[in-house]
Amino acid sequence: MSIATIGAFAIGEFPEAVAVMLFYQVGELLQDYAVDKSKASIKSLLNIRPDYANVKRNNEIIKVNPEEVNIEETIIIKPGERIPLDGIILNGKSMIDTSALTGESVPRSVKVQDEVLSGCINQNGLLEVKVTKKFKESTVSKMLELVQNASDKKAKTENFITKFAKIYTPVVVLIAVILAIIPTIIFGNFTQWLYRALSFLVVSCPCALVISIPLGFFAGIGRSAKAGVLIKGGNYLEALSKTNTIVFDKTGTLTQGVFEVQSINAFNISEEELLKLVAHAESYSNHPIANSIKKAYAKEINNSIISNIQELAGLGIEATIQEKDVLVGNEKLMLQKNVNYVKSKEVGTILYVAINKEFAGTILISDKIKENTKTALNSLKQHYIAKTVMLTGDKKEIAEDVAKKLEIDEVYSELLPDEKVKKVEELLKSKSKNQNKNKNKTLAFVGDGINDSPALAVSDVGIAMGALGSDAAIEAADIVIMTDDLSKIETAIKISKKTMRIVKRNIVFSIVVKIAILILTALGISNMWQAVFADVGVLVLVVLGTGPIARF
């Protein structure tokens, strides 16, 4: 543009020279506005950073920087204030606005012993919270770090355009020089050919091409963040748009990860009485199964009626409850005690119960499938995904039952963490072998636990369920879902596909228009005024074309 402006002055085309500078600057202003607008949704996340914390020290409440608060200290969060640090509620109840983290508009109710995350807003109650993480390790700090670093990881398309621009600029300048010199030698009239060469330079300015790509990725990452999905870079956004296979961890991802009593089958005794006896027998245990029994019973345990409790390793528990000999355990316990029991056909953890050596029934305990899981998976398979796979360390029959209910294509059970990684690597190799069939397609792994971190790291796209997910899983993942809602994966894929569609459209449009005007300019059919308007016009159109991503 500088060469074109100086050249126009040199040959006396002063209006054109001014027009080049004026409209180029207008284009730059539009470009800067578009980038700032596109980055605004990302920058707005900086507003969730808390400015202070009300900490309780020496019976006083003092206002300090959140970074100065230690773990185990108590902070006070007043109505309307932003929660500064992650913690557990010691006192109070309230409704909190989690939209900044999760994208969910409906406030969440919290009470004593509930966990609260930094970045959320306390709406109406006074909360007393025990801090569980330092500020640098808090949810809001990690979220800000992820989003701020997202632009550093460029997609292949962005890297291509950066390299393209470095080669393109000197090439078009060289062509312009040739256009000015060679025809002059052949046909004469240096001023005419220099004018065409200068117009050629104006048209060839790659503003629209270079700005449309990062602008599109900024918009896509920002829109995802608003929806509660943190994408760590444009390269992961691009990879997500090509995903055709998703591998899911089971516990905590597809299921709630919490054992619950699903059914009680009593023989010659009421269900209430059976549950009461089992709850009292399990009263001294902290095992997840025991806790689920006590939770289902939901009444106070009367310790005075319990005696002679014995924990039988690998079998179960024997106890005397209200002068009755109660056995609670697995089939092996029934066989060892010579109880004539009825084998259960239900899938899950089965507790067999005998009273005075007589079979009294069974209690089924299992992990519950999340409420919206099947709907989310069906929608994914219907619109975007060719194959779903489930990996779990759980028993084969339980895994196959869950897979059947959710209509998952492949299931691999009883896997250790390192075996999960090997299985993901096998699936990746299998995908590579079928590259002609699934060209450039990617595999995503979705998990939430510490044991999922290696699998998240080796997959093409690692997706962590961030609301209840471990810090290790969030660190290893490329994409973080801030809620436990699997439908967010479909939302993220929709945004990624729309982003890539608009980016590619802008690239094709910019190149086609540029080539057409360049040819017309070289032939002398268009002049510098048209060249200027073509350059700025294309830029405006690609900027406007990127808008739908942010409004998705």
- pLDDT tens digits, one per residue of 53-100: 999 998 899 999 999 999 999 999 999 898 999 999 999 999 988 776
Residues 241 and 375 both lie in one domain: yes
Q: Which of 495, 510, 542 is the last residue of a domain?
A: 495
> Within a domain: residue 530?
no
> Within a domain: residue 3?
no
Neighbours of 492 (CB within 10 A): 28
The residues that bridge with 465 in the sheet, in sequence order, are 481
pLDDT confidence of residue 541: 79
At 315, which CATH number? 3.40.1110.10
With 80 as the cut, is the pLDDT of residue 380 above it? yes
DSSP class of 125: S
DSSP class of 70: P
Looking at mean pLDDT, say which of 149-158, 162-171, 390-399 comes out highest. Answer: 390-399
Q: Which of 148, 171, 198 is the last residue of a domain?
A: 148
**Average pLDDT in the chain:** 82
What is the Cα–Cα distance from 185 to 272, expressed in whole angstroms?
104
Confidence tier at 438 by pLDDT (50, 70, 90):
low
> Within a domain: residue 61?
yes
> Within a domain: residue 194?
no
> Within a domain: residue 84?
yes
Q: Number of structural domains, the chain?
A: 3
Catalytic residue among 249, 394, 484, 535: 249
> Within a domain: residue 489?
yes
Q: Which of 232-241, 354-363, 371-380, 542-551 has the lowest mean pLDDT?
A: 542-551
Against a cut of 0.75, is the pTM above it? no
pLDDT confidence of residue 409: 93
pLDDT confidence of residue 517: 78
- The tally of CA atoms less than 13 A away on the side-chain side of residue 416 is 1
At 131, which CATH number? 2.70.150.10
Residues 139 and 279 both lie in one domain: no
- Strand positions, DSSP E, 78-143: 87-91, 94-97, 108-110, 115-116, 121-122, 127-131
Residues 138 and 269 both lie in one domain: no
Confidence tier at 193 by pLDDT (50, 70, 90):
confident
Return the SS3 of 447: strand
Residues 355 and 326 both lie in one domain: yes
> Within a domain: residue 270?
yes
| SS3 annotation, 369-413 | ECCCHHHHHHHHHHHCCCEEEEECCCCHHHHHHHHHHHCCCEEEC
Q: Compare 392 and 326 and report the one with higher pLDDT.
A: 326
At 391, which CATH number? 3.40.50.1000
Residues 314 and 379 both lie in one domain: no
Q: Is 367 a catalytic residue?
A: no
Residues 389 and 431 both lie in one domain: yes
Q: Which of 310, 344, 368 is the last residue of a domain?
A: 368
Residues 251 and 286 both lie in one domain: no
Residues 375 and 435 both lie in one domain: yes
pLDDT confidence of residue 473: 66
Considering only CA atoms, which of 461, 547, 478 is closest in space to residue 233?
478
The parent domain of residue 74 ranges over 49-148
> Within a domain: residue 431?
yes
- pLDDT tens digits, one per residue of 101-135: 665 656 888 999 998 888 888 988 899 999 998 98
Residues 374 and 491 both lie in one domain: yes
Place of tokens 């310790």: 303
- pLDDT tens digits, one per residue of 244-300: 999 998 877 888 877 789 899 999 899 999 999 999 999 888 777 888 899 999 899
Residues 395 and 374 both lie in one domain: yes
Residues 359 and 385 both lie in one domain: no
Residues 337 and 476 both lie in one domain: no
